[in-house]
Amino acid sequence: MATMAMVTVAQLVDSVAAKRVLLDVRWSLAEGADVDAYRAGHLVGAVFLDLDSDVCGPHSPDGSGGRHPLPDPAALQGVLRRAGVDDDTAVVVYDDGSYMSAARTWWTLRWAGLANVQVLTGGYPAAVAAGVPTTTEVPAPEPGDVTVRPGALPVLDAGEAADLARRGGLYDVRAAERYRGEVEPIDPVAGHVPGAHSLPADRIMADRGRGFRPPAELAEVFDGIDTAEAGLYCGSGVTAARTALAMTSVGLPTPAVYIGSWSDWTSDLHRPVATGDE
């Protein structure tokens, strides 16, 4: 059984885990992996992972699979073993508090069959503010023996996403103007999957985009959504994973994610596209 999806700084400090690995995955969509921030200071014992090269798979030349595709299970297993992860290891993931890379890492590790994975509430800034010790020393963990068993979380491909949209259960978590097709800063086509509902990710985030809204407010955002039958997508499967984390954090079933998302959908220009407030 999976543990709770989030852990507070106080819980992290107070907990006693026989085996625990901290993963620092600070990253941004614009700049990529923030290894400079890690080198400048990180939580003691934390291992740095690059979301693009360690957690996600390589891009396909034709764009299929999206900008952040699923990793090869053997490659992910190697990354996690080098980070010191065993099958019974508790893993805590943190980023800058935006939960973008931390959520996608949490989702990927849960998909890979790891049950005890949590995201640190508030990320690195919250830990520093609470006085948790930091260091510039890069750890050299003993290799772990974790076995990756993919498929523990539901994943949608393009056809399954289209079917779910026709049944009214697909949610687009990109900004509303991207959903409506008014702007598209990254992908070649603007709009959304026909039949998908708009559920902008800014509805789940606190002010300034750091941390989730309080649980009661999240519950209101997700009211009426049958997450056990729902699917999420975004631009490339990162923001959708964050919304999946938010749903899980308030006790809802973790929804399916169309991991290729809009970047995969638009890799085939024959797929239909809707615009406006459909």
Q: Please, how many CA atoms are within 13 Å of residue 177, restricted to the half-sphere of its CB?
A: 4
Please check whether residues 13 and 129 belong to one and the same domain. Answer: yes
The Cα–Cα gap between 26 and 142 comes to 23
97 found inside a domain:
yes
64 found inside a domain:
yes
Q: Which residues contact 213 (CB under 8 A, 6 or more apart)?
A: 203, 204, 205, 206, 221
Active-site pick, 190, 234, 244, 245: 234
What is the pLDDT at residue 16?
A: 65
> pLDDT tens, 75-107?
999 999 999 999 999 999 999 999 999 999 999
Average confidence (pLDDT) over 55-60: 95
Please check whether residues 130 and 211 belong to one and the same domain. Answer: no
103 found inside a domain:
yes
141 found inside a domain:
no
The Cα–Cα gap between 49 and 168 comes to 36
Looking up residue 68, the CATH number of its domain turns out to be 3.40.250.10
93 found inside a domain:
yes
Please check whether residues 90 and 127 belong to one and the same domain. Answer: yes
What is the pLDDT at residue 96?
A: 96
Please check whether residues 78 and 169 belong to one and the same domain. Answer: no
Please check whether residues 124 and 209 belong to one and the same domain. Answer: no
What is the pLDDT at residue 278?
A: 74
Average confidence (pLDDT) over 129-150: 97
Q: Residue 259, class by beta-carbon neighbours within 10 Å (0-12 exposed, 13-18 middle, 19+ buried)?
A: buried
129 found inside a domain:
yes
Average confidence (pLDDT) over 211-229: 95
Please check whether residues 128 and 17 belong to one and the same domain. Answer: yes
Share of the chain above pLDDT 70, in %: 98
Average confidence (pLDDT) over 60-70: 94
206 found inside a domain:
yes
The Cα–Cα gap between 227 and 91 comes to 25
The DSSP result for 30-71, as a single string, is: TTEE-HHHHHH-EETTPEE--IIIIISPPPPTT-TT-SSPPP
The Cα–Cα gap between 123 and 228 comes to 28
Please check whether residues 159 and 113 belong to one and the same domain. Answer: no
What is the pLDDT at residue 3?
A: 67
Q: Is the pLDDT of residue 1 over 70?
A: no
- Specify whether 56 is catalytic: no
Q: Is the pLDDT of residue 179 over 90?
A: yes
Residue at which a domain ends, from 135, 164, 194: 135
What is the pLDDT at residue 2?
A: 53
Please check whether residues 13 and 126 belong to one and the same domain. Answer: yes
240 found inside a domain:
yes
Please check whether residues 127 and 186 belong to one and the same domain. Answer: no
Domain carrying residue 37: 6-135
Element at 251 (helix H, strand E): none
Q: Is the pLDDT of residue 17 over 90?
A: no
pLDDT band at 208 (very low <50, low <70, confident <90, very high): confident
Average confidence (pLDDT) over 126-144: 97
Q: What is the dihedral of CA 198, 204, 209, 214, to 10 degrees?
A: 170
Residue at which a domain ends, from 101, 135, 169: 135
Please check whether residues 111 and 179 belong to one and the same domain. Answer: no
Please check whether residues 126 and 204 belong to one and the same domain. Answer: no
pLDDT band at 207 (very low <50, low <70, confident <90, very high): confident
Number of domains composing the chain: 2
Question: For residue 63, is it left (φ>0), alpha (ψ between -120 and 50) or beta?
Answer: left
Please check whether residues 220 and 116 belong to one and the same domain. Answer: no
